Each structure stands twice: as C-alpha cells, then as structure tokens.
Structure 1
Amino acid sequence: MPKMTESFYNSASWRAYRQQHRDWTIARQGGVWCIVCGSIKRLILDHAIERKDGGADLPPLEQAHWYCTGCHNRKTAEAKAKRARGGR
C-alpha cells in the first residue's frame, strides 16, 4: 500500500514553517542539503523527534532537519521498526 501524506503536511502552518526553516537554514549554512548525504534534490523537512513519538507539530528550528527522499525513507523506516519493537 503506498504511503499517504498526512493532511497536516499540506496545511498552511506547515508550509509556512517549511519556508521559515528553509530561510533559516540558508542564513546559517548558505544553502539547503540533506544532512546525511549532502544531496540537494527532492528534500524533505523532517522532525528530529517524530510526531508519532511525541514530537511537536512545529518544533524549534533546531529540531527539524532536511533529508533527501532516500535518506528520509530510511530514517522513517528505522523509527517505525523501533516503535514496533516497543521503543528499543
């Protein structure tokens, strides 16, 4: 079954937060890229602490990171597997 985007990620508040985070990241480091591999393509802003694990909808800017699609999918799969193991 294909992954469905939660409606939250289509909200005006998340879109505004993404733009604010992008501007903040560019000001800090001169650009936006995946924190794992350095790619600049197909970037996703990700919560450091997933919302399903109690993370804030709009966390402090330091608690969200840019990932390329591949690195984001790996991180999300690892978090899902950890939840399935009861947090271990």
Structure 2
Amino acid sequence: MAPRLKCLSPGLATIDTRIASPPPKRVDPFYVSKAWRDLMRQLVTARGNACQQCGRSDVRLFGDHIHELKDGGSQLDPANIRLLCGSCHTKKTAKVRASRMKERYGR
C-alpha cells in the first residue's frame, strides 16, 4: 500500500478583509489655502456655476488643472484651470493617471 500524502496547514493566517477600510483621504493643504479658494471664487463668478466640459449647473465644481501640477502645470494660473463637475473631473483625472502610468511603465 502506497503512503498517503498529508495536507499541511497554511503557514499564514487568513485576514478578514470585510473589516478593512482604506485610510482616510488627506487633503493637500494647497487646496484649502486662501489663495486657491479666492481664485476658485473668482473663476466661478467670471465663468458661471456650470461644468465647462458637460455644462451641468448647480453642482459642486472642482478646479481642474488642465496641465497637472505633477506634470509641471502652474498652480494659480487661471488659464490652466477649468471648472469641472465631479463626474467630468473623475474621468479626466483617471484618464491622465492611466496615460502617465502607460508612459512610465509602457503598459
């Protein structure tokens, strides 16, 4: 009769991921600065309270850097900032990040 193989118990404990939560989002201090808030107020007054991409109005607007700060864009240049709703801002940011990763890692 051939010997039987025994299963070994796992060496690592199993972690219950249902209780894990991501760390809280930390706001970049620049985006709560007086200079940024003043510029956003000026842009909304001048351009109106509507997304410059899709035209949605009366929604929360985000100041989106056209040429992102990580890529050398100017922080407080009104020509580098457009007002976007949350949906358009999220899509644009995801697209730019994917492009940056593709450049960096060739994927």
Same-fold status (TM-score > 0.5): yes
Matched, 1:5 2:5: no
Taking structure 1 as reference, are residues 83 and 35 closer, same or farther at Cα in structure 2, changes over 3 Å only?
Answer: same
Q: Which amino acid aligns with 2:72?
A: G
TM-superposed deviation, 1:3: 4.6
Question: What corresponds to 2:36 in structure 1?
Answer: 14
More helix by share: 1
Structure whose CA Rg is larger:
2
d(CA) in 1 for partners of 2:61 and 2:82?
A: 10
2:51 match: secondary structure: coil
**TM-score, scaled relative to structure 1:** 0.80
Contiguous gaps of at least 5 residues in structure 1: 26-30
Contiguous gaps of at least 5 residues in structure 2: 1-21
TM-superposed deviation, 1:71: 0.7
Question: What corresponds to 1:46 in structure 2?
Answer: 64
The answer as to whether partners of 2:74 and 2:80 remain within 8 angstroms in 1 is: no
More relative contact order, 1 or 2 (CA 8 Å, 6+ apart): 1
**TM-score, scaled relative to structure 2:** 0.67
TM-superposed deviation, 1:14: 0.6
Aligned residues: 82
